[in-house]
Structure 1
Amino acid sequence: MRAVVTGLFITLEGGDGSGKSTQAGLLSDWLAGQGRTVLRTREPGGTPVGVLIRDIVLHHRGEVAPRAEALLYAADRAQHIATAVRPALARGEVVIQDRYLDSSVAYQGAGRVLGGTEIRDLSLWAAEGLLPQLTILLDLDETAARGRLDNANKRFDRLEAEKADFHRRVRASFLRLAAAEPERFLIVDATEPVETIAATIRARVATLLR
């Protein structure tokens, strides 16, 4: 029997380099200070099975066909939601997750040009229809995002290494998703100072906690 959702499910979305991990950490710390139990997690890779899938989709050196990539993300999502997220929500916890189905729609649906509707349907099936109460979109121009990644001197994964046109399609898709569901999305300018962004996010989350 599927667990009943009683906690709060928050996801962070945006292009690579937009600051999702930083804001997820700050929000987690703030919520813990409010006495809330927090599960901070990510997709792909939020479970032991997901770690194996993450290595394939982001670091495999050989070719991964676009549809195979989409299915691997869906497999990770099914395992993650069933074994980590739903149990935490059933316990009344706050789940803060770096990437969810909107990333699949943006990266595989738009970036890989597989079709957003098809990818969203696949993702919802994998997650048994679970949607976050809040999705924070850290919006950043793809050129600025690439500059941040370059400055970090990190080795690019398979998606980060894609061309500018790919990341332009991804950003446009995220913005279309946010425009279609304004009640779920909070769009934040990722060029703002870190603490300014954190304060904006906390203000929105506080309304959900009440």
Structure 2
Amino acid sequence: MTLRVYSRFITLEGGEGAGKSTVLSALRDVLSATGTDVVSTREPGGTPLAEQIRGLLLDTHHEPPTADTELLLVFAARAQHVRETIVPALERGAWVISDRFTDASYAYQGAARGGDIEFIAELERRVVAIAPGMTLLLDVPVDVGLQRARGRGAADRIEGERDDFFERVRAGYLERARLQPQRFRVIDATQPAAVVAAQAVAHLREWLERNP
């Protein structure tokens, strides 16, 4: 089964503290200013049920899920997100910007957890079946990103992982970008937030010229 690529579907990826929320807001503002219908969303989450699964995944107060449980929960939330939020918006002609999508599973559950990449790819084909036209990868060194993330308050279950876990996440993302240069745009997220947002907007404007 081949993934259906939607040019109006843009995803933001990166490790903890990369600044995805700021960039998402900037991209949404640019698209909205043109009168375009824009849906901004996130993963895990994006629907009421998927948000409940997000809570299970990030909660630090219950037994930690096994690696397989985590992977399947993420894809369960993603399946709901795709069917109930993303595809309906795209089919009516809206643009969709998502804070994380399937690339996150390759980085977190694959590269960092040591999950079977082929199994993740099979889940992507059978459960997700769509792909973004453009992905912005906000790349930041682990120590910088974690300092930002942990400065926001109590760490969730993922944020509480060891630094070497996040080094593998970063390496996984960069490998995805290396393998799919036609889709990925890598941005140095150590720069000031305004600069990162401006570079992301520049990529968006270029994408809009090619995909009106």
**Root-mean-square deviation (Å):** 1.5
Question: 8 Å contact 1:36–1:93 — kept in the other structure?
Answer: yes
TM-score between the two structures when normalised by the length of structure 2: 0.92
Post-superposition offset of 1:104: 0.6
Give the distance between the partners of 1:103 and 1:6, measured in 2 at CA.
18
Aligned to 2:202: 203
In structure 2, relative to structure 1, the CA distance for the partners of 1:48 and 1:111 (3 Å cut) is same
Q: How does 1:64-75 map to 2 (within 5 A)?
A: 64-75=65-76
Amino acid of the structure 2 residue aligned with 1:159 = I
Question: 8 Å contact 2:150–2:159 — kept in the other structure?
Answer: no
Question: 8 Å contact 1:133–1:184 — kept in the other structure?
Answer: yes
Give the distance between the partners of 2:23 and 2:17, measured in 1 at CA.
12
Listed as ranges, the gaps of 5+ residues in structure 2 are none
Aligned to 1:80: 81
* Residues 43-96 of structure 1: CA deviation (Å, up to 9, x unaligned): 111001101100111115212111011000011111110111001001111100
* Residues 94-127 of structure 1: CA deviation (Å, up to 9, x unaligned): 1000000000110001111113332232133211
Equivalent pairs, count: 205
Give the distance between the partners of 1:66 and 1:5, measured in 2 at CA.
28
2:136 counterpart of 1:140: no
2:173 counterpart of 1:174: yes
Post-superposition offset of 1:7: 6.2
Question: 8 Å contact 2:5–2:133 — kept in the other structure?
Answer: no
Listed as ranges, the gaps of 5+ residues in structure 1 are none
In structure 2, relative to structure 1, the CA distance for the partners of 1:169 and 1:31 (3 Å cut) is same
Aligned to 2:192: 193
Q: How does 1:111-122 map to 2 (within 5 A)?
A: 111-122=112-123
Question: 8 Å contact 2:43–2:98 — kept in the other structure?
Answer: yes
Q: Secondary structure at the match of 2:126?
A: helix
2:20 counterpart of 1:20: yes
Amino acid of the structure 1 residue aligned with 2:112 = G
In structure 2, relative to structure 1, the CA distance for the partners of 1:102 and 1:6 (3 Å cut) is closer
Aligned to 1:149: 149
Question: 8 Å contact 1:5–1:90 — kept in the other structure?
Answer: no
Aligned to 2:57: 57
Question: 8 Å contact 2:136–2:187 — kept in the other structure?
Answer: yes
Give the distance between the partners of 1:7 and 1:143, measured in 2 at CA.
34
Give the distance between the partners of 2:201 and 2:19, measured in 1 at CA.
15
In structure 2, relative to structure 1, the CA distance for the partners of 1:147 and 1:5 (3 Å cut) is closer
Post-superposition offset of 1:6: 6.6
Give the distance between the partners of 2:68 and 2:131, measured in 1 at CA.
23
In structure 2, relative to structure 1, the CA distance for the partners of 1:7 and 1:83 (3 Å cut) is farther
Question: 8 Å contact 1:8–1:94 — kept in the other structure?
Answer: yes
